[in-house]
Amino acid sequence: MNTGLPRWLLLPAVAGFALVVVPLLALAYSVDWSKFLTSVSTAASQDALWLSLRTATASTLLCVLLGVPMAAVLARTHWRGLPLLRAMVLLPLVLPPVVGGIALLYTFGRQGLIGKHLEVAGIHIAFSTTAVVLAQTFVALPFLVLTLEAAMRTAGSRYEDIAATLGARPTTVWRRVSLPLLRPALISGAVLSFARALGEFGATLTFAGSLQGRTRTLPLEIYLEREADPDAAVALSLLLVVVAVLIVLVAYRRPGRIAGPGTTLRSGRRPGPNPSRGRTDADRDLGSAR
């Protein structure tokens, strides 16, 4: 197979693939298959799995709701404090999750900066399912913002500028031009956010605790089972891996949907000028944005 790549790249590539794949195979090999169904079908395991799926879905929706405007501001505005703001937004990528959990606790806890005012109004966030969603959103949001910002910078603003010159209002340009171009990157960022939320542990444990049916997600259940029943912990770990793999396979089932830095559209082309089309065709495409 001639890929056009230097042959010396194959050795570190194989080593990298092995570093990811071999531990997963070792995990599957370690499962006691005679007890697998029993381990993953207990009430605690089922509660943890469905709670993880529900909270990860809610946090992903919150990431999309907040992250798309955040990425647009970072990619399309220019002011002196923008690098510092970007660094703060991306900080959860490098912070230990437990630090994020402590920060959330001192923000939304009973004596927190905002939490003490919410407590007066009868709203309790810490150690609740809402706390799980907030913790997952805190750690997952940068993945969506980073993906979308990179895609917007790669795509440029040519089509938005053309639509604006044709008389389209900013909201119309955003809805009819910008969002369709960002759709592959949005799918990619949402999948990354969901996967990160599904596997969140440290911030959730610190901010939400471990209450079965309320805050004990599947990673927390795996941690607890590791002390009491290692075989069950291995089975639940494999279950979490399988769920994550299925999600990624469904999202990336077609190569044209993969997006991120250097975004490609569904047709496989990068957003940008198409030399095979003239100015008249471009104007016709954008005419509906007026």
pLDDT digits (tens, 9 = 90+) for 251-264: 766 544 444 444 44
| In the predicted structure, residue 134 carries a pLDDT above the cut 80 | yes
Q: How many CA atoms lie within 13 A of 282 on its CB side?
A: 17
Q: Is residue 5 part of a domain?
A: no
| In the predicted structure, residue 128 carries a pLDDT above the cut 50 | yes
Q: Is residue 25 part of a domain?
A: no
> Sorting pLDDT into bands at 50, 70 and 90, what band is 287?
low
Nearest to 172 by CA among 55, 24, 288: 288
The mean-pLDDT minimum among 46-60, 61-75, 105-119, 258-272 falls in 258-272
| In the predicted structure, residue 158 carries a pLDDT above the cut 90 | no
Q: Is residue 20 part of a domain?
A: no
Q: Is residue 7 part of a domain?
A: no
pLDDT of residue 1: 58
Which residue range(s) make up the domain with 111?
36-287
pLDDT of residue 179: 86
Q: Is residue 4 part of a domain?
A: no
Q: Is residue 1 part of a domain?
A: no
| In the predicted structure, residue 275 carries a pLDDT above the cut 70 | no
pLDDT digits (tens, 9 = 90+) for 59-86: 999 999 999 999 999 988 888 888 899 9
On whether the CB atoms of residues 257 and 187 are closer than 8 A, the answer is yes
CATH code assigned at 179:
1.10.3720.10
Q: How many separate domains does the chain show?
A: 1
Cα–Cα–Cα angle for 151, 246, 16, rounded to 5 degrees: 65
Average pLDDT over residues 198-225: 93
Average pLDDT, the chain: 84
Which residue in this structure is represented by tokens 């007026």?
290
The mean-pLDDT minimum among 61-65, 140-144, 178-182, 199-203 falls in 178-182
> Sorting pLDDT into bands at 50, 70 and 90, what band is 269?
very low
Q: Is residue 103 part of a domain?
A: yes
Q: Is residue 3 part of a domain?
A: no
| In the predicted structure, residue 172 carries a pLDDT above the cut 50 | yes
Nearest to 53 by CA among 236, 186, 247, 251: 247
